[in-house]
Amino acid sequence: MEFNVKSGNPEKQRSACVVIGVFDSRKLSQAGEQIDEVSEGYLSNLLRRGDMEGKLGQALLLHNVPNTLSDRVLLIGCGKERDFSDKQYHAVISKAITTLNETGSMDAVCFLSELNVKGRDTHWKVRHAVESTQDSLYSFDQFKSKSESARRPVRRLVFNVTTRKELTIGEQAIAEGVAISKGAHVARDLANLPPNIANPSYIAEQAKMLSIENDKIECLILDEKELKEMGMGAFTAVTQGSDTSGKLIVLNYKGAPEEQKPIVLVGKGITFDSGGISLKPGERMDEMKYDMGGAAGVFGGFVAATEMQLEVNLIMVIAAAENMPGGGACRPGDIVKTLSGQTVEILNTDAEGRLVLCDALTYVERFNPDVVIDVATLTGACVVALGDQASGLMSNHNPLAHELLNAGELCGDRAWRLPLWDEYQEQLESNFADMSNLGGKGAGTITAACFLSRFAKKYHWAHLDIAGTAWKSGKSKGATGRPVPLLTQYILGRVNA
C-alpha cells in the first residue's frame, strides 16, 4: 500500500474515489459541503430523500457526481458529531477501506482525516488513518489453499489535510504509521503461525534475518546447552520437557552513541504452553500457541523502531521455549537454581512464563539498561481483571509507569497499572526454597509480577501482562499486534524528549 498526504479540493481530485464523512443526522462534513456546492445540491438531495442518515458504520457509494473529477464519491456515516473521538475515527476509516477494497477503487483520496477528532491533531489523525487502514486490511491466509483476497484491492491512498502547512507533519505521520503497522504486522504473523512452525528456532531465524538486512543490528542466539552452562536453571527447567531446543534470542540495535544506555525489551516466547506436567485442560488449548505473544510484541516493536531508524539504543531479548510434558520434563516439587543464584520451588509447571523470564531479566543486567520492559502473556488472572481492553502494567519505577500509561492513551493501545506492594510478596513463600513459582489464591497477575520483580532489582523495570490483549478468541480468532503501538509510542516519546 502506498500512502500520501495532500491539501486539495474534493471536487478536483482525479482518482477512483473521494471519501467524504457524513454526520448523524444528514450533516455533511466540510469537504461534503464543497462537493454539494459544485454539484448543485446532489448530495444534500440524496440525504433529504433518506438515502443515508450518517449513522456510524453506514456507507453509500455514488457514481458520476456532477462537476467532480473522480469516478466515485464514497459517503461514510460518522455518527453524532459531538461523539466523534478515537474509537469512531478508527471505525470510519476501517469502514471506508473495506468498502473501497470491495468495490474496485484501487486508489482514493480520503477526506476523513480532516474531520475533528476530540483532542487530536493532524499528526495523530494521519498516523492513525494509516494504522487503521493496515489493521483492517490484515489477513492471515497463507495456509488456505484458495486465497480470498479482493480482485481489485486498494493500492494507493491519499489523506487530505486542511492546509498546505500541515503537509510536512502529515508525511512524518505517514512514516510513523507505516513503521508501526509493519511492526504490528510482523507481530501478528509471528503469533498467528501454528506452533509446529513458529517454534524457538523459527523465531531465532527471523531475528537473524533482521540483523542481516540492517548493519546497525547485531544478533546473538544462545541454545539450550549454553543456557544450562550459563546457569539459567529456571529457563532450562521449562525447556527440558520438549524435544525442541529452547533459545535465548538477542537483537541489539545501535542507533545512538555508545554511551547512551539502552532501552531493553524482554519477551515471553513460549511457542506452545501445554502446561507441562501440570497439564492444561483441553478446551481452547490451541490458543496457547499465542503464548509467545510477548515475544511477537517486542519483535514487532523492535521492527517498528528500527524501520524508523530512531536514534536510540534498543535491545530485544526473547526467552523462547516450548512448555511440554515430556519424559524429561520438570515436575511439581522440583527445585531449581536461577541465574541470579536464588532458588525456586516449582509448584506448578504451568507457571512457566515467570521461570523463563526471571533468567532473561538477570541476563539483561549486563547491558546496563536505562529501562527494561518485559512483555508476557503471563496470567489468566489478567484476563479476568482487565479483559481485552487494557494490558496489565506493573513497575518498580513510577516515572516509567506513567510514561507507559500516557503512551498507551496516546496511541489507543492502553495499559492499566496494578500495585506491587511488598505485602503481596509473602504469597510466594516456599518451605523448601527461596521462593515458589506459585502465588496461591488471589491477585495472580500481581504475584506473578512480584516473582519477576525479585530479578529486576538492579534497574528501572516495567512488566506488561498482555494475556487479555495479545489475541482475540472466538469467531475472529487472531493476533492483535498489541502491544506494538504502545511500545513504539513509548520509544518515540523517549527519542523526542
Q: Which residues are catalytic?
A: 280, 354
User: Which residues inside 453-492 make contact with ligand BES, applying CB under 6 A?
Assistant: 467
Which of 54/392 has CB closer to ligand BES? 392
Rounded CA separation 346/273 (Å) = 16
Residue 269: contacted member of Zn ion, Mn ion, ligand BES, none (CB under 5 to 8 Å, by partner type): none
For Zn ion, the binding residues in 401-430 under the rule CB under 5 A are none
Does 348 sit near ligand BES (CB under 6 A)? yes
CA dist 437 and 430 (Å) reads 9
Between 8 and 380, name the residue whose CB sits nearer to ligand BES. 380
Write down the least CB distance from residue 350 to Mn ion, Å: 4
291 contributes a contact to ligand BES by CB under 6 A: yes
- Site size toward ligand BES (CB under 6 A) is 16
Quick check: helix, strand or coil at residue 219?
A: strand
383 forms part of the interface with ligand BES (CB under 6 A) = yes
Residue 2 in 3-state DSSP? strand
Interface with Mn ion in residues 425-464 (CB under 5 A): none
Residue 353 binds to Zn ion (criterion: CB under 5 A): yes
Q: Does 369 bind Zn ion (CB under 5 A)?
A: no
Q: Of 131 and 352, which CB lies nearer to Mn ion in the complex structure?
A: 352
Which range in 102-110, 123-131, 374-382, 488-496 contacts ligand BES by CB under 6 A? 374-382
Q: Which of 273, 322, 403, 413 binds Mn ion (CB under 5 A)?
A: 273
Report which DSSP code applies to 231.
Answer: T
107 binds Zn ion (CB under 5 A): no
Enclosing H/E stretch for 311: none
Instruction: Give the nearer residue to Mn ion in terms of CB position, either 33 or 287.
Output: 287
Q: Exposed e or buried b for every residue in 163-197, given b needs 16+ CB within 10 A? A: eeebeebbeebbbbbbbbbbbbbbbbbbbbbebee
Residue 291 binds Zn ion, judged by CB under 5 A: yes
Q: Which three cell numbers stand for residue 462?
A: 516495567
Encoded one letter per residue, x for contact with ligand BES by CB under 6 A and - for no contact, window 200-239 reads ----------------------------------------
Residue with Cβ nearer Zn ion (233 or 353) = 353
Q: Tell me if 350 contacts ligand BES by CB under 6 A.
A: yes
Residues forming a β-bridge with 160: 6
340 binds, among ligand BES, Zn ion, Mn ion, none (CB under 5 to 8 A by kind): none
Surface-to-core class of residue 259, CB atoms within 10 Å of its CB (0-12 exposed, 13-18 middle, 19+ buried): exposed
Stretch that binds ligand BES, among 2-10, 150-158, 302-310, 345-353 (CB under 6 A): 345-353
Q: How far is the CB of 287 from ligand BES (least distance, A)?
A: 7
Selected range binding Mn ion among 91-99, 245-253, 258-266, 267-275, rule: CB under 5 A: 267-275
How far apart are the C-alpha atoms of 256 and 262, rounded to whole Å?
A: 9
Q: Footprint of Mn ion on residues 335-364 (CB under 5 A)?
A: 350, 352
All residues at 6 or more sequence positions from 82 whose CB lies less than 8 Å from its CB, including other chains: none
Would you count residue 273 as binding ligand BES (CB under 6 A)? yes
The values of phi and psi at residue 447, to 5°, are -70, -30
Judged by CB under 5 A, does residue 465 bind Mn ion?
A: no
DSSP string, 400-467: HHHHHHHHHHHHT--EEE----HHHHGGG--SSSSEES---SS-HHHHHHHHHHTT-TTSEEEEEE-T
77 CB-side CA count, 13 A: 16
State which residue, 24 or 413, has the beta carbon closest to ligand BES: 413
Distance CA 226, CA 109 (A): 55
- How many residues interact with Mn ion (rule CB under 5 A)? 3
- Exactly one of 43, 238, 351, 487 binds ligand BES (CB under 6 A); which one? 351
- With CB atoms as reference, the residue minimizing the distance to ligand BES is 380
CB of 392 to Mn ion, least distance (A): 16
Which residue type occupies 497?
A
- Residue in 380, 388, 406, 416 binding ligand BES, rule: CB under 6 A: 380
3-state secondary structure 312-353: CEEEEEEEEEEECCCCCCCCCCCEEECCCCCEEECCCCCCCH
Tell me whether strands 217-223 and 247-254 are parallel, antiparallel or unpaired: antiparallel
Q: What is the Cα–Cα distance from 291 to 380, expressed in whole angstroms?
A: 11
For residue 267, which phi and psi values (nearest 5 degrees)? -120, 135
State the binding partner of 383 from Zn ion, Mn ion, ligand BES, none, CB within 5 to 8 A by kind.
Answer: ligand BES
Task: Tell me how far apart the alpha carbons of residues 440 and 496 are, in angstroms, rounded to a whole number.
Answer: 43
- List residues binding ligand BES (CB under 6 A): 273, 291, 348, 350-353, 377-381, 383, 438, 444, 467
- List residues binding Mn ion (CB under 5 A): 273, 350, 352
